[in-house]
Structure 1
Amino acid sequence: MSKLQCFQFPYGHDNYGVLVHDADSGQTACIDAGDAQAALDALTQNGWTLSHLLITHHHGDHTAGLAAIKSATGCRVYGPEPLSSPIAGIDESVGDGSEFDFAGRRVRAIHTPGHTTDMINFHFPEDALVFTGDTLFSMGCGRLFEGDAAMMLNSINKLKVLPPETLVYCAHEYTATNARFALDVNPDNQALQERAREVSRLRDRQEATVPTTLQMELETNPFLRTDDAALRQSLGLVDADEVAVFAELRERRNGY
């Protein structure tokens, strides 16, 4: 079985889509559908034919191009069960633990409510890939539009237990701002200091900071470190429970 190829492409102000291609079967999946032309151009650039379209959640910057992509390619569309706003055009709804086949591999859906109640992350376990939509960002997490801190913390904890070498593709280029915030609340974290410097170098060259690895997030992302003593000390929440720490982090990040 050949290794999957991933081609990340930007669209909109700061969104990323990703094509996932298997050379043996010729199958190609696209993660999210915020901009049909950007996705179709990426397919043309690579000479790939779309077979699967995987939708993480209902927000327009992830779904606006769904109908046009489906019409142009005849792909099969997988997306979340309609727990939030229904998404027109989905062929197969997936919930937590649902699995389906892509190029002879299993893809597992991980339900991660918080940003929205319908959010699905797509995990390719045999290839150590996860597509986290607006749940987990590089050094950050999504805003809580439809859920609360306890819900999102539980969702983040589902991702924390994936193998640390897992490559994490998130849906937005928020890393530079996330890094500045993370340094404010966890200033003595040496791994974070090094990562922040690398992010600055990448953005100075207008290069992507995504993907990241789960190991890097465990070391640098404050939202995955709610049990860290130094972070708790910085927040003044040494003895608080993890939900309270997470809620305080999210509230501070909202106003950052």
Structure 2
Amino acid sequence: MTASSPEIRTFLCRSDNIGVLIRDPATGACASIDVPEAGSVLKALEETGWTLTDILVTHRHLDHVEGIPEVKKRTGARVTAPRRAGAHVPEVDVAVVEGDRVRVGDLEAQVWETPGHCSDHVTYWFREAKIAFAGDTLFTLGCGRVLEGPPETLWHSLERFLALPDDTQVFSGHDYVLSNGRFALAADPDNQALQNRMTEAEAAKEAGRFLVPSTMRQERETNPFLRSTEPALAKAVNLPPNLPAQAIFIALRAWKNTF
């Protein structure tokens, strides 16, 4: 590990939330991506010996912010959250919008507004480290459920991830890998890379691990929602392959809702 490479710890919160700590070894600054529950985050801090300086909130939903008050009280961490979330996120110190920069020590992230799952959702893109904290927008083998706005809003958010380098690590907010994978296989059954990924996911589950983070290369190869440009996915939803990818995505997302 080089001096500029962040240290990362992932761990399970609640039943299926993914907790993440990212630390700058040069300065000792450390951020929690959301706080699904206080106990798991505080335990991870105790195990690592890291000192929490920041909390980076992806969106306002309770299962991502519920533990903030206790963790902030225990650590004094600065809370950064989407401005659009308003008072739904407790104890916010810094409200951010599209194009803002946030720092964790010497590590810098760009703020992307990535609505679709909900209107206030943001992603933190650490360009130099090639790490994206995608919250509930992009999952390993899947994407978030559309709760606010039309589904094309989520598609436009997902398109931004398609521009990222193949070796970008994507950290999602939940471990939905096996359920996402079952749908992906139904939609894209002849995809050998996807079949291999599911074998890996099942082995990880047996070993008590999860496939978070994923990489953009893996997601391009296996995630049906990001593969909405592919004829095989159009065929899966009985649509002609010359339709815009957005239309294929909307049909896939509607199917997933009933899966």
1:40 to 39, 42, 52: 42
Change in Cα spacing, 1:191 to 1:30, as seen in structure 2 (3 Å) is same
> 2:200 corresponds to which letter in structure 1?
E
Per the alignment, residue 68 of structure 1 pairs with 70
Work out whether 1:220 is the aligned partner of 2:215: no
Per the alignment, residue 206 of structure 1 pairs with 208
1:131 to 130, 133, 145: 133
Per the alignment, residue 255 of structure 1 pairs with 258
More off after superposition, 93-102 vs 9-18: 93-102
Can you give the 5+ residue segments of structure 2 that lack an aligned partner in the other structure?
none
1:3 deviates by 1.3
SS of 1:223 mapped into structure 2: coil
TM score, norm. by length of structure 2: 0.95
SS of 2:116 mapped into structure 1: coil
Contact 1:168 1:214 in 2 (8 A): yes
Aligned partners of 1:154 and 1:199: how far apart in 2?
28
Correspondence 1:108-147 to 2 at 5 A: 108-147=110-149
SS of 1:2 mapped into structure 2: coil
Correspondence 1:22-33 to 2 at 5 A: 22-33=24-35
TM score, norm. by length of structure 1: 0.96
SS of 2:194 mapped into structure 1: helix
Aligned partners of 2:88 and 2:32: how far apart in 1?
20
1:246 deviates by 1.0
Aligned partners of 2:237 and 2:70: how far apart in 1?
47
Per the alignment, residue 9 of structure 1 pairs with 11
Can you give the 5+ residue segments of structure 1 that lack an aligned partner in the other structure?
none
Per the alignment, residue 148 of structure 1 pairs with 150
Cα RMSD for the two superposed structures: 1.2
Contact 1:50 1:73 in 2 (8 A): yes
Per the alignment, residue 106 of structure 1 pairs with 108
Contact 1:222 1:231 in 2 (8 A): yes
1:192 deviates by 0.8
More off after superposition, 193-202 vs 48-57: 193-202
> 2:243 corresponds to which letter in structure 1?
A
- How many residues are matched? 256
Identity level (%): 37
2:172 to 150, 157, 170: 170
Contact 1:84 1:117 in 2 (8 A): no
